Amino acid sequence: MTGSQKTRLIVVRGPSGSGKSTVARALRRRMGRGTALVEQDYLRRILMWEKDTPGAANIGLIDGVARHALDVGYSVVLEGILAADHYGSMLTALIGDHVGTTVCAYLDVPFDETLRRHATRPQAADFTPEQMAGWFEADDRLGVAGEIVIGQESTTEQTVESLLAAQRGTSAARRLP
């Protein structure tokens, strides 16, 4: 088991350019001090300088960082593409082991929209549409109980409000626009 009844774990997943980082950072601001932001891109691409492959070292690192933060009393917002075929086992174990409230969200944004959004980001030159196409997996849900699917029409604020409400237990899992 990991965490406590007081800790919150919010997992935000989705394709590159879907808005995960924006949502995760807004969630952390709203949740306040005592909330750790665990970013897949930072741990995999920056810290480990590793390609995203099955069984890669970053998977255990992400798990360990999230569990450590939960075990010392922090709530955690975990965000990333976190493709189910590479990260699914780790994520389902983490979710299953967490003692406190857990919310798992998948940002369901079509590829064309992720390309449009990516073009407006500061890191637009860091990778190409062709690379993004290689990472894109439509409807890559984990399939865990209560997983919230959020559509492309949901604004950052709507998404954050929905996830905060879900972690308070005041809204049922549902598909947002």
Contacts of 95 (CB under 8 A, 6+ apart): 9, 11, 102, 104, 142, 144
Q: Position 139: which residue type?
A: D
Q: What is the pLDDT of residue 114?
A: 87
- The predicted structure's pLDDT at residue 170: 58
The chain-wide mean pLDDT, for the chain, equals 92
Q: Is the dihedral of CA 65, 45, 30, 9 positive or negative?
A: negative
Which residues does residue 135 pair with via DSSP β-bridges, in sequence order? none
Q: How far is 148 from 94, CA to CA, in rounded Å? A: 17
User: To the nearest 5 percent, what fractions of the chain are helix, strand and coil?
Assistant: 45, 20, 35
Domains of the chain, residue spans: 8-176
46: tokens are: 């920056």
Model pTM score: 0.92
pLDDT digits 0-9 by tens, 129-164: 898 888 888 899 999 999 999 999 999 999 999 999
pLDDT in tens, 81-132: 999 999 999 999 999 999 999 999 999 999 998 888 888 888 778 888 898 8
Residue 175 pLDDT greater than 60, yes or no: no
The answer to whether residues 80 and 68 touch, using CB atoms and an 8 Å cutoff, is no
Q: Which CATH superfamily hosts domain 8-176?
A: P-loop containing nucleotide triphosphate hydrolases (3.40.50.300)
- The pLDDT tens digits for 57-92 are 999 999 999 999 999 999 999 999 999 999 999 999
Q: What are 98's strand-pairing partners?
A: 2
DSSP 44: I
